[in-house]
Amino acid sequence: VSIEVFLAEALLGLREPERIELQVAPEASHTANLLPLQAAAQAIRNLLQNALDASPSGMSVLLRAELVEQGWKICVVDHGSGMEPDILQRIGEPFFTTKEPGRGMGLGLHLTQNVIGRLDGSLGFDSRPGQGTTATVILPSLRS
């Protein structure tokens, strides 16, 4: 599957997909990968939805893709309020959420981490209070 098809799949079903600003580095364009499309795209979709939820209404969220030695590097950058280190440390814990009651169960990032881990990928977060959050995913190249 190409990076373009993969990212299009990740955007499906998002609330407010028009707020996503997509940047695909020229070297990543048209590269192929044999990742399981639905599972990997759902992981990115979870990150995008969290970024949209964290960002003020009307503000865009950046979805950036590039090719690195290990495979695809995908970054999701929001304009939210950022996270304190103690909150950042708990990201991915089952049933941990910072969202208002009724807005999330605290399983999205837990499942996202599991999917990315099963694909031998990595997920990291860079966040500072008042400066938003960047989620960085590395998905390894799986080619035939």
CATH number of the domain that residue 65 is part of: 3.30.565.10
Q: Residues 98-123: pLDDT tens digits?
A: 877 777 777 889 999 999 999 999 99
The span from the CA of 33 to the CA of 40, in Å, is 11
When the pLDDT of each residue in the chain is averaged and rounded to a whole number, the result is 91
Whether the pLDDT of residue 144 is over 60: the answer is: no
Residue 71 CB burial class (10 angstroms; 0-12, 13-18, ≥19) = buried
55-90 pLDDT tens trace: 999 999 999 999 999 999 999 999 999 999 999 998
Residue 107 belongs to domain spanning:
3-140
**Residue spans of alpha helices (H) in the chain:** 3-11, 37-54, 85-90, 108-118
Of 32 and 45, the structure prediction assigns the larger pLDDT to 45
Number of domains in the chain: 1
